[in-house]
């Protein structure tokens, strides 16, 4: 079948209304790429149209083309600030893993620890972290440190919870197996409980990475001299709305890339948990 024929067949399938046709359609690769593109194009057109109808100035709402132009013109500025935000996010995320994973494990293993610290953890999680941001500036100044801390604060909780849930969810049959083999608790942990917990942990990590980006940006909003969040604040001050939009685009791209890096890591580490085919 030539590509054209295939395309024709797919379009025909798209117009058919049987469930099988629908299934075939949703599986097709071409459509998997084409449909999101069409959706995006529709939204961009709507955006441009709204601006045009209302006859808004670029500083109220830039058109998509304005934003693209700004991205090209200010590429170096955007990129250098992007690296700052990526650095804060990734360091914060890794720190949160380093702190959160052991705490999650301890919560799952020792009920005393759980009883002692769970209420405080939950209470702390209930605080809107953005309220702490000014305090962090007072304590740590305007450098990258308060941003990293903010990223840690935001993404640490889901990591702790997912790790604890993962360790607790070791299937009973595997626990019994480990006991019957007379494995040491270190062996049991490394060979069974930790690997069994990984799928749960990744649920938390995928949530955490987006939160880490948000944390870094909140930190940059409050007091910073660089970073995409800082760029947005500054462009607000100078009414350079296109630049703010361009920074937003970069932020979204960072989030998406980091998320899919995690997904790739997950597919590699936890491939046994996914269905085949």
Partner 1 sequence: MIELHNVSKTFHSKKGSVEALRNINLTVDEGEFITLVGRSGCGKTTLLRLIAGLLQPTAGQLSVSGQKVAKPRRDVAVMFQRPALLPWRTVLENLMLPVEVIGAKKSEYLGRAEELLDTTSLTGFEDALPRELSGGMQQRVSLCRSLITDPDVLLMDEPFASLDALTREELSSELQRICLDQQKTVVFVTHSIDEAVLLADRAVVLSPRPGQIKQIVDVDVPKPRSLGHSDHTERLAEIGAELRDLLFEPAEARP
The contact set with partner 1 (CB under 8 A) reads 171, 173-174, 176-177, 179-183, 187, 191-192, 195-196, 270, 272-273, 276
The residue with tokens 């630049």 is 243
Question: Which of 80/184 has CB closer to partner 1?
Answer: 184
**Minimum distance between the CB of residue 179 and partner 1, rounded to whole angstroms?**
6
Q: Indicate the residue among 64 and 195 with the shorter CB distance to partner 1.
A: 195
Minimum distance, C-beta of residue 166 to partner 1, in the bound complex (Å):
13
Q: Cα–Cα distance between 121 and 100 in angstroms, integer?
A: 11
Q: Which is nearer to partner 1, 123 or 268 (CB)?
A: 268
Residue the block writes with tokens 């500025």: 77
d(CA 72, CA 226): 19
Minimum CB distance to partner 1, residue 187 (Å): 6
**174 vs 234, which CB is nearer to partner 1?**
174
Polymer length of the chain = 277
141: left (phi > 0), else alpha (psi -120 to 50), else beta? left
Q: Quick one: 18 or 276, whose CB is closer to partner 1?
A: 276
CA dihedral of 139, 145, 150, 155, whole degrees rounded to 10: -140
By beta-carbon proximity to partner 1, the closer residue of 174 and 262 is 174
**Three-state DSSP state, 276:** coil
Q: In 3-state terms, what secondary structure has residue 40?
A: helix
Q: How far is the CB of 25 from partner 1 (least distance, A)?
A: 28
Task: Identify whether the C-beta of residue 130 lies closer than 8 Å to the C-beta of residue 218.
Answer: yes
Q: Give me the least distance between CB of 240 and partner 1, in Å please.
A: 51
Question: How distant, in Å, are the alpha carbons of 18, 69, 203, 217, 226 from that of 258?
Answer: 38, 25, 14, 15, 20
Q: How far is the CB of 194 from partner 1 (least distance, A)?
A: 11
């Amino acid at each position: 079948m030539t590509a054209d024929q295939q395309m024709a067949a797919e379009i025909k399938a798209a117009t058919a209304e049987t469930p099988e046709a629908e299934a075939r359609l949703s599986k097709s690769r071409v459509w998997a790429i084409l449909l999101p593109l069409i959706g995006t194009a529709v939204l961009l057109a709507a955006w441009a149209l709204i601006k045009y109808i209302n006859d808004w100035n670029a500083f109220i709402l830039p058109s998509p083309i304005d934003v693209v132009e700004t991205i090209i013109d200010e590429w170096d500025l955007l990129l250098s600030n992007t690296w700052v935000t990526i650095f804060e996010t990734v360091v914060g995320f890794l720190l949160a893993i380093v702190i959160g994973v052991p705490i999650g494990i301890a919560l799952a293993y020792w009920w005393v620890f759980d009883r002692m610290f769970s209420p405080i953890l939950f209470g702390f999680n209930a605080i809107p972290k953005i309220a702490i941001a000014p305090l962090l500036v007072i304590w740590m100044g305007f450098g990258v440190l308060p941003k990293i801390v903010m990223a840690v604060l935001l993404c640490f909780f889901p990591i702790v919870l997912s790790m604890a849930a993962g360790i607790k969810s070791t299937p009973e049959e595997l626990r019994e197996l480990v006991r019957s083999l007379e494995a040491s608790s270190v062996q049991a942990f490394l060979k069974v409980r930790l690997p069994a917990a990984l799928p749960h942990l990744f649920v938390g990590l995928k949530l955490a990475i987006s939160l880490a980006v948000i944390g870094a940006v909140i930190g940059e909003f409050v007091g910073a001299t660089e970073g995409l969040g800082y760029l947005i604040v500054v462009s607000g001050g100078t009414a350079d709305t296109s630049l703010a939009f361009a920074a937003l685009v970069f932020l979204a791209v960072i989030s998406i890339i980091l998320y899919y890096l995690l997904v790739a890591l997950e597919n590699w580490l936890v491939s046994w948990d996914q269905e085949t085919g």
